[in-house]
Amino acid sequence: MTVAPETIRSPEFVPRATRLAQRPVKISALCELCHSRKAAVKRPKNLQKLCQLCFFNVFETEIHQTITNNNLYHRGEKLALGASGGKDSTVLAYVMKTLNDRYDYGLDLVLLSIDEGIVGYRDDSLATVKRNQVQYGLPLEIVSYKDLYNWTMDEIVTCCGIRNSCTYCGVLRRQALDRGALKLGINHVVTGHNADDMAETVLMNILRGDLARLEKSTAIITESAGSPVKRSKPFKFTYQKEIVLYAHFKKLDYFSTECTYAPEAFRGTARELMKQLEKSRSSTVIDIIYSGENLLLQPKRINKQKQFRKVKTIDKKTAENGQNNNKNREMEVLSDGSISLGHDRAKYKDGNKCLKCGYLSSNKICKACVLLQTLEKMKPKITIDNNISTDGAAKVLRSLETLSF
């Protein structure tokens, strides 16, 4: 069977509302709450059928309850809302603004956006955030990688290629919001992480045997001793599907593209597994989060109980040449994913500061600084090797990647 070329074509311009008004009425159930309007949503959480208005109401009220039940914020607090222009953060900004006004939380909200410095990629999403700033009347602060790390993502990609740059991107991005907030004198970052994200992380940690990370991954608010920045996730119990539906029905202005840095393969598999489980058990997502919250590690006994996993560094050359003078050949991966270089591991626990940048770290030198040090070493070689401008390097490399895909 072939498709005739005229089967799919661009429509003559008819406004969306008109198109929707033209179509015949399909029979669907009535809303289970108001019993008067046509249902538009089947909630993944409990399969309840709701009309648009009742859905908005339930969606917002549940988030309000999450915030008040957990005492996430206090009057007068200044919050940095992580803003990427994507759907989660756009809904976050809209809902936080709405609830702050409706229930008079008395919060001082600021949109905080990180500019990784990828020419031609961030432009569109930053433009979205700038429109959100106007639409929601919230102040916007943009902090760049250049400000924070003195490197743009384009420069990093030029230096070490797109594959390796994913490692950098992950580590640097995780810290960027915290560092950005500190720069602005704000010590509470709010992110749009949702229930699906959280269940996925719990599943991954369990499948990897990384139970030490469970506690942190299910916390609705994280506060480490000595850390100046709190993090909270008011969407902890909010399903991804409902966030997308909410943004769609409210016609929120968000930027959507396929993620530039595809998720690591393992996360992708965990996500698929979860989606499959969800098909046969709708409460899967909440169940996984609940399990994650209640799986508690026994308190560690000193030394003996502690498990260390030794991993070889990626430094293959050193290994191949049989050189064993490299002190970093074996690194210890700690439970929080950071790398320990020194031997005084007992001394460097949560609450210590990086000797280089002063940022909270469980090691002498934080992971970001370790990566940046490696980059600095590679830099001189690169400037001789290729003289091309680094502007847009990430984008060009990515386009090349898709071509060869």
Q: Least distance from C-beta 129 to Zn ion, angstroms?
A: 27
From CA 391, how far away is CA 102, in angstroms rounded?
A: 45
Q: How far is the CB of 28 from Zn ion (least distance, A)?
A: 13
Q: Where are the beta strands (DSSP E) in 292-378?
A: 310-312, 330-333, 339-340
Cβ proximity to another protein: between 79 and 370 the closer is: 79
Residues with Cβ within 8 Å of residue 264, at least 6 apart in sequence: 166
- Interface with another protein, residue 275, by CB under 8 A: yes
234 binds, among Zn ion, another protein, none (CB under 5 to 8 A by kind): none
User: In this chain, which of 45, 179, 236, 241 binds another protein, going by CB under 8 A?
Assistant: 241
For residue 82, say whether it is annotated as part of any ligand binding site.
yes
Q: Is 273 exposed, middle or buried (0-12, 13-18, 19+ CB in 10 A)?
A: middle
Binding partner at 23 among Zn ion, another protein, none, C-beta below 5 to 8 Å by kind = another protein
In the complex, minimum distance from the CB of residue 197 to another protein, in angstroms, rounded to a whole number: 8
CA distance 167 to 163: 8
CB of 251 to another protein, least distance (A): 11
- The minimum distance between CB 171 and another protein, in angstroms, equals 17
Least distance between another protein and beta carbon 206 (Å): 20
User: Which of Zn ion, another protein, none sits in contact with 192, Cβ below 5 to 8 A by type?
Assistant: another protein
Q: How far is CA 183 from CA 167, 194, 218, in A?
A: 24, 26, 27
27: annotated binding-site residue? no
* Residue 395, token pair as written in the block: 């984008």
Treating both helix axes as pointing N-terminal to C-terminal, what angle do 284-294 and 265-280 enclose, rounded to 10 degrees?
120
- Contacted entry of another protein, Zn ion, none for residue 249, CB cut-off 5 to 8 Å set by kind: another protein
| Contact (Cβ atoms closer than 8 angstroms) between residue 187 and residue 229 | yes
The yes or no reply on residue 222 touching another protein (CB under 8 A) is no
Q: C-beta of 110: minimal distance to Zn ion in Å?
A: 25
* Distance in angstroms (rounded) separating the CA atoms of residues 328 and 339: 10
> One-letter amino acid identity for 291?
S
Listed residue (364, 361, 373) closest to 343, CA to CA: 364
Contact indicator for 139, 162 with CB cutoff of 8 Å: no
- Considering only 66, 89, 158, 362, the residue that binds another protein (CB under 8 A) is 89
| Pair of tokens at residue 378 | 């590679």
The answer to the question of whether 88 is labelled as a binding residue is: yes
3 binds another protein (CB under 8 A): yes
In this complex, which beta carbon is closest to another protein, that of residue 83 or of residue 162?
83
CB of 326 to another protein, least distance (A): 38
Q: How far apart are CA 268 and CA 264, in angstroms?
A: 6
The strand pairing partners of 311, in sequence order, are 331
Residue 344 among known ligand-binding residues? no
Is 106 annotated as a binding-site member? Answer: no
Residue 82 CA, chain-centre distance (Å), reads 9
Residue 348 half-sphere exposure, CB side, CA atoms within 13 Å?
22
Which tokens in the block code for residue 135? 């639409």
Closest listed residue to residue 129, CA positions, set 251, 253, 261: 253
User: Judged by CB under 8 A, does residue 280 bind another protein?
Assistant: no
Which x/- pattern, by CB under 8 A, does the window 15-54 give for another protein? -x--xx-xxx-x-xx--------xxxxx------x-----
C-beta closer to another protein: residue 28 or 323: 28
Q: Which does 329 bind (CB under 5 to 8 A by kind): another protein, Zn ion, none?
A: none
**From CA 313, how far away is CA 300, in angstroms rounded?**
27
265 binds another protein (CB under 8 A): no
Tokens of 348: 């460097």
* Residue 279 interacting partner from another protein, Zn ion, none (CB closer than 5 to 8 Å by kind): another protein
Residue among 11 and 76 whose Cβ is closer to another protein? 11
Known binding-site residue numbers for ATP:
82-84, 88, 114, 192, 197
Known binding-site residue numbers:
82-84, 88, 114, 192, 197
Q: Which residues bind another protein (CB under 8 A)?
A: 1-4, 6-11, 16, 19-20, 22-24, 26, 28-29, 38-42, 49, 82, 84, 86-89, 191-193, 197, 240-241, 243-245, 248-249, 255-259, 271-272, 275-276, 278-279, 405
